[in-house]
Chains A and B, each alone.
Chain A
Amino acid sequence: MYSDYLKDKKELMKKLVSLFADDYDYVSCLGSDIKGKSYRVNARQSQVNEVGVERGFVIKLYKDKLYREFSFDNLTEDNFDELVNEIKASNKLTYNYVPSDTKILSDEPLVKDFNREVEDREYSDEEIMDILTKGKDIMMKEENIVNAIANYRTYEVSKCFISKNRELTQHYAYYNLVAMAISRDGNNMQNAYKTLDGIKPSDIFAKFDDLCLESARVAKMLLKAKPVVPGVYDVITSPSISGLIAHEAFGHGVEMDMFVKNRALAKDYVGKQVASDIVNMHDGAGSAVNVASYFFDDDGVLASDTTIIKNGILVTGISDALSASVLRTTPTGNGRRESFSHKAYTRMTNTFFSPGKDKLDDMIKSIEHGYILYDTNNGMEDPKNWGIQCTASYGLEIKDGKLTGEVIAPVIISGYVPDLLKSISMISDDFELSGTGMCGKGHKEWVRVSDGGPYMKAKVKLG
């Protein structure tokens, strides 16, 4: 249910916006009320805590080519005048500075309330802890497993956006479930985790036991893993690794606040071939229903589905409102804040490669010597130079079109982004999105994202 707190504060937010409306060319106020809970069970402990809780506001003002923001977490009739004085005081700038060439944000009239229904079936704390405990026990029963962690997190988001011409509210929820198994054989210790996420707890819980078994199986398997012999290989990326490539290797490079700063090589490649012609890639809070799906972004721009790559051609990037105003493009609804107390940047949401027509079996059969790469470990962007650094948790060897049972771990994928994308020669008809990861901008500003896609055959450098 949409936040009663924000309902109560709406008139004060409007009063605040109207109070600054005469003196500033643009005024908006974003209110945020987020509830979150974490349930965690491991071999020796259990915990239930509130996490990710957020309640506060940010006012955004524009005048003299400069944006000014003030974030605060208390808004009452009693403190209103004091707050207004503090905002005014913080905006009295006496220092001699040169403003950048920003433009006023669009503020097309719109009044609308959005709501994504939360599943009727409610799970009590006791039920959730029972499910997690059972999952933990499934993992612990397996040989060599020394610890197992089952973690379930809930998020319920309410936001209210008020500007001179817009009044928007939204409410939605999402859920993450993680099964992590830690295996040990002497001093050889490995871990594997599998995740589920989405907007329906019942769907997630229905698959949890299998997830736990798979996590334990992989953790045990990794005890026998060998390092990869560095080299260039034919690989098949699993949906998780396809998503990692979509997100890290290419997605960060098409965040258009990077275009504004001339920090992204992609700016020069719009309309040009950047991938093989069977590759299509999307991003958008409206492109899928997953953990990064919302109705409007933190600039009050409605969510959309952006086609980034179509048939191998870079079509466009994604943008927040401010970057779009500078670039004179239409914002794509990708302006996101870590919280109300952070700045909005262009951020990814649900980022993925579209499925193709190939069958995974045929893709395996087509490889003489290579690997299928599984499970995102980490990745880092390089938008200026399109260098890749992505790490898969493990890979399974393919020889003469068959899986050999040999395991490699860890697997660092490196190289040059267009080389990788242009080498994609087969794309499966599968499609999976995973939304357990957090995405940073540089090394900060963490937001929840999902990414994924199909299995893809490519040629990459492994190390």
Chain B
Amino acid sequence: MIDKIISKLAKYPQINDYRLVKTETKSHEIFYILDKVETVRNTKLDATCSVTIYVDQNDQRGQASFVIHESYTDAQIERKIEDAIYQSKFSLNTYFALPKGEKREFENKSNINKYLDSDLVFKIGDAVFKASTFKDGWISSMEVFVKENKVHILNSQGVDYTYYTNSIGIEVIPTFKNEKEEIELYNYLDYDNLDLDKITSDTYDFLCQAELRNQALKYVGPNELPVLLEDKEIKQVIGNLIDNLDYADVYNKMDLMKIGDKFYGDGDDMPDISLVPYVDGSVNNRMVDVDGIVLKDTKIVENNIILTNHGSNQYGYYLGIDKPTGVLPNLKVEKGAYDMDELCAKPHLACLSFSSFQFDIYSGNFGGEVRLAKYFDGQKYIPVTGLTIGGNIHELKSHMRFSKEISNIKGYSGPKACLITKMSVN
């Protein structure tokens, strides 16, 4: 299919460059109602290829993307290409060169392929249910997705990269019952390797949280309080600030911080920050980006100073960057200066689960409705629910303290907890 598309593209001298991305996906899925199996699903997708053509005109570069399906006839492919050439006239932008490359296949570091058979989703299901040992709680809904992807990226400048990804995704929704009501909590667990014991252990930890929500009370406490955020929310807060250092935001004059600025303001805990292609446990891991830039660890913030911007080949070229970083899939924050005991010594609110945590990079506002938190009043922890927290990162980034303890999740390796010393709680 790829050869056929390339041979067709070669017939059009107007096309100066092209990029092809072909993704082949297989998935194995299982869906439960309570602890019983409702549906098993399999998918096999290998018949489409995404094509981008680049057409230069008067020092500008036009581009258009389209999809070729295996079923297309020669005439249909030619029609698609001709339509795209026409459309490229309406997306003439500043010229940029495509990255050059070579033929290379990247190693698949996941062990999931070794265990792939029709039984695997059932075994994962059993591993989840093994953790469901609670008197007042059960798993009311669970779905398992085991995916294997092969991604092939080619361009007209020699890029010819192939990489593989595997992932396990588990949506778990437990229910617990108390005298007054039933409660539930939502989680989606991601794994890049198969470890059934870890799945059981992570599920158990999550069920413990749900059990805690079952005991949670309405929050009664101060309206301003230090708030402890966990890895998912730290990733979102720090990640959004780092995203704003993207070449595209600089080019579009939407960047709020510049190289040389203090990232954390005048904070007292300022771990270095990198963007990296690989961290243990992240299902985002990949060694090459969609343009064919081979990715490498890139330090973005060191000693509180912003060292560099980052981003795609196109916008990097616009900014005159010699070697754009490419789009890096994982945020890595170094460990903080505080033990968990120190972070948790004074009254605070430890947020364990949000219904939805929001962060608006433009205004800096962030927060959300807390489904479960632990309020420490200075003497004891009280599980609480039904409250919202909020703040503005531009005002609060110098008030952040990070844990020494590290956590690895999808797209993030870094402190497991961050205490923001002054947030509104309602």
Q: Chain A residues in contact with chain B, CB under 8 A?
A: 5, 39, 42-50, 53, 55-56, 66-74, 76, 86, 89-90, 92-95, 97-102, 125-126, 129, 146-147, 182, 184, 187-191, 222, 227, 230, 260-263, 322, 326, 341, 343, 377-382, 384-385, 387-389, 391, 409-410, 412, 414, 442-444, 461, 463
Q: Give the nearest-CB partner of A102 in chain B.
A: B38
B87 part of interface (Cβ distance < 8 Å): yes
Query: A182-B254, A385-B184, A443-B188 known; A100 and B44 CB under 8 Å?
Result: no
**Least Cβ–Cβ distance between B396 and chain A, in angstroms:** 13
**Least Cβ–Cβ distance between A383 and chain B, in angstroms:** 8
Asked if residues B45 and A72 are in contact (CB atoms below 8 Å), the reply is yes
Query: A46-B91, A50-B65, A146-B254 known; A72 and B36 CB under 8 Å?
Result: no
Asked if residues B253 and A147 are in contact (CB atoms below 8 Å), the reply is yes
Residues of B with C-beta under 8 A to A384: 175, 182-184
Asked if residues A50 and B355 are in contact (CB atoms below 8 Å), the reply is no
Asked if residues B369 and A66 are in contact (CB atoms below 8 Å), the reply is no
B196 part of interface (Cβ distance < 8 Å): no
A99 to B37, CA, bound (A): 5
Partner of B46, one of A73, A190, A409, A442: A73
Asked if residues B90 and A68 are in contact (CB atoms below 8 Å), the reply is no
A260 to B31, CA, bound (A): 13
**Least Cβ–Cβ distance between A332 and chain B, in angstroms:** 19
Asked if residues A414 and B87 are in contact (CB atoms below 8 Å), the reply is no
Residues of B with C-beta under 8 A to A93: 40, 118
B7 part of interface (Cβ distance < 8 Å): no
Asked if residues A444 and B188 are in contact (CB atoms below 8 Å), the reply is yes
Q: Which of B67-75, B97-105, B291-299, B322-330 contacts A (4 or more CB under 8 A)?
A: B67-75
Residues of A with C-beta under 8 A to B36: 98-101
Q: Chain B residues in contact with chain A, CB under 8 A?
A: 25, 27, 29, 31-48, 63-67, 69-71, 86-94, 118-119, 122-123, 125, 140-141, 171, 173, 175, 181-184, 186, 188, 223, 251-254, 256, 355-356, 358, 360, 362-363, 365, 367-369, 371, 386, 388, 390, 394, 424, 426
A363 to B193, CA, bound (A): 57
Residues of A with C-beta under 8 A to B88: 48
Asked if residues B355 and A71 are in contact (CB atoms below 8 Å), the reply is no
Q: Give the nearest-CB partner of A441 in chain B.
A: B171
Asked if residues A230 and B424 are in contact (CB atoms below 8 Å), the reply is yes
Asked if residues A73 and B362 are in contact (CB atoms below 8 Å), the reply is no
Asked if residues B252 and A42 are in contact (CB atoms below 8 Å), the reply is yes
A227 to B173, CA, bound (A): 34
Q: List 7 A-B contacts (CB under 8 A).
A: A68-B41, A99-B38, A129-B90, A227-B365, A261-B141, A343-B39, A389-B355
Asked if residues A391 and B358 are in contact (CB atoms below 8 Å), the reply is yes
A379 to B355, CA, bound (A): 9
Asked if residues A97 and B253 are in contact (CB atoms below 8 Å), the reply is no
**Least Cβ–Cβ distance between B128 and chain A, in angstroms:** 13
Query: A66-B37, A385-B184 known; A414 and B388 CB under 8 Å?
Result: yes
Among A72, A189, A222, the one with the most B-chain Cβ atoms within 10 Å of its Cβ is: A189
Asked if residues A74 and B388 are in contact (CB atoms below 8 Å), the reply is no
Residues of B with C-beta under 8 A to A182: 254, 362
A130 to B60, CA, bound (A): 18
Query: A92-B118, A230-B223, A412-B390 known; A343 and B29 CB under 8 Å?
Result: yes
Partner of A261, one of B87, B119, B140, B355: B140
A191 to B364, CA, bound (A): 12
A101 to B94, CA, bound (A): 60
Query: A66-B37, A146-B253, A343-B41 known; A412 and B141 CB under 8 Å?
Result: no
Asked if residues A263 and B141 are in contact (CB atoms below 8 Å), the reply is yes
Q: Which 7 A-B pairs have the closest CB atoms?
A: A380-B356, A100-B36, A389-B369, A74-B47, A71-B43, A95-B122, A49-B65
A227 to B358, CA, bound (A): 15
Residues of A with C-beta under 8 A to B141: 261, 263
Asked if residues B175 and A262 are in contact (CB atoms below 8 Å), the reply is yes
**Least Cβ–Cβ distance between B316 and chain A, in angstroms:** 15
**Least Cβ–Cβ distance between B394 and chain A, in angstroms:** 7
Asked if residues B33 and A100 are in contact (CB atoms below 8 Å), the reply is yes
**Least Cβ–Cβ distance between B19 and chain A, in angstroms:** 12
Asked if residues A463 and B43 are in contact (CB atoms below 8 Å), the reply is no
Asked if residues B183 and A189 are in contact (CB atoms below 8 Å), the reply is no
**Least Cβ–Cβ distance between B411 and chain A, in angstroms:** 14
Asked if residues A72 and B44 are in contact (CB atoms below 8 Å), the reply is yes
Among A68, A99, A385, the one with the most B-chain Cβ atoms within 10 Å of its Cβ is: A385
Among B43, B45, B65, B358, the one with the most A-chain Cβ atoms within 10 Å of its Cβ is: B43
Residues of B with C-beta under 8 A to A409: 363, 365
**Least Cβ–Cβ distance between A198 and chain B, in angstroms:** 23
Residues of A with C-beta under 8 A to B31: 343
Among A50, A92, A101, A381, the one with the most B-chain Cβ atoms within 10 Å of its Cβ is: A50
**Least Cβ–Cβ distance between B26 and chain A, in angstroms:** 10
Asked if residues B69 and A55 are in contact (CB atoms below 8 Å), the reply is yes
Asked if residues A378 and B356 are in contact (CB atoms below 8 Å), the reply is yes
Q: Give the nearest-CB partner of B391 in chain A.
A: A227
Residues of B with C-beta under 8 A to A49: 64-66
Query: A412-B390, A463-B426 known; A70 and B38 CB under 8 Å?
Result: no
Asked if residues B363 and A190 are in contact (CB atoms below 8 Å), the reply is yes
Residues of B with C-beta under 8 A to A191: 362
A188 to B256, CA, bound (A): 9
A391 to B367, CA, bound (A): 11
Asked if residues A74 and B223 are in contact (CB atoms below 8 Å), the reply is no
Residues of A with C-beta under 8 A to B91: 45-48
Asked if residues A71 and B390 are in contact (CB atoms below 8 Å), the reply is no
Asked if residues A125 and B90 are in contact (CB atoms below 8 Å), the reply is yes
Residues of B with C-beta under 8 A to A147: 252-254
Asked if residues A463 and B388 are in contact (CB atoms below 8 Å), the reply is yes
A267 to B178, CA, bound (A): 18
Residues of B with C-beta under 8 A to A101: 33, 36
Asked if residues B90 and A48 are in contact (CB atoms below 8 Å), the reply is yes
Asked if residues B386 and A387 are in contact (CB atoms below 8 Å), the reply is yes
Among A76, A93, A188, A382, the one with the most B-chain Cβ atoms within 10 Å of its Cβ is: A382
